Amino acid sequence: MKKIIALVMALLMIATVFAGCGTQNEGIKIGVQTTTTGDIYASGDFGEDAVTRYDNGALAVEALKNGKVDCVIIDNEPAKSYVAANEGLKILETEYTVEDYAICFQKGSALKADVDAALKALIEDGSVKKIVDKYINNSGEALVGVPVATVNTDKPDLKMATNAEFPPYEYIDGDKYYGIDVEVAQIIADKLGYDLVIENVAFDSIIPGVQSGKYSMGMAGMTVTDDRIEKVDFSSSYATGIQVVIVKEGGKIAAIEDLDPYYLPAE
């Protein structure tokens, strides 16, 4: 009888170990905007099965509100806007990751060197910081919009692809585009003697469009990643972004540490 009991106990212990291994990544759903760095990082950290992709951040946040996902991983500044507009949501105190934003170009594009030179000068004279401060730190400076409808002049066009659903980096208000990326692109265009023409497209269409030469450059709070470097060239960085986690108040995830049990084991 003792041997039988010992055997049963051993089998129960083995079953418990295997059950624990099988459930490490079960029970969490993460909302992301497709092909963004939130998507890339979440897929790598938690696995494809844990990630649900949406066309934009607003849809991911709506899914969180409706209980379809447990959290949303997205950039800090848009996250602030979504939380302010939706009662019962909060941003976890600890950031998920920190990243640099840059402008993308077709591989080998001669435009990159010109933009880099202009961007360097505009960073050094404080113009870029002034733009960032008015959107992020509410400096009180007047916002400068770019008309949605193309305005033709005798200048050559600088065609910029963006996804205008990412405040405060790019968004539409009335008949104009606004945001950090919009204004930084405008002062670059002014310095180089171009007319800025903005094309609002899906985020995952930006890099293919730049690759094909359809657009002169892409600017959409875009992070430099190893995968993207293989497809396009990047300017120097003009802003720093932080990926954060949006959750429901009182939900299953109350702190960044609560995500630890769901991480994939390191290979």
Under DSSP, is residue 66 helix (H, G, I), strand (E, B) or coil?
A: coil
Domains of the chain: 2-98+243-262 (3.40.190.10), 103-235 (3.40.190.10)
C-alpha to C-alpha distance for 196 and 30, rounded to whole angstroms: 36
pTM of the model: 0.74
DSSP state of 216: S
Residue 58 contacts residue 246 (beta carbons within 8 Å)? no
Q: Which residues contact 265 (CB under 8 A, 6 or more apart)?
A: 24
- C-alpha closest to that of 198 among 248, 123, 236, 144: 144
CB 94 within 8 A of CB 255: yes
Q: How far apart are CA 227 and CA 250, in angstroms?
A: 36
Going residue by residue through the chain (267 aa), what tens digit of pLDDT does each one get?
544 444 434 444 444 444 444 334 467 999 999 989 899 999 999 999 999 999 999 999 999 999 999 999 999 989 999 999 999 999 999 999 988 999 999 999 999 999 999 999 999 999 999 999 999 888 889 999 999 987 777 899 999 999 999 889 999 999 999 999 999 999 999 999 999 999 999 999 999 999 999 999 999 999 999 999 999 999 999 998 899 999 999 999 999 999 999 988 755
Q: Please return the burial class of 17, using the count of CB atoms within 10 Å of its CB with bins 0-12, 13-18 and 19+.
A: exposed
AA letter at 231? K
Q: Can you tell me which residue has the tokens 């089998």?
A: 11
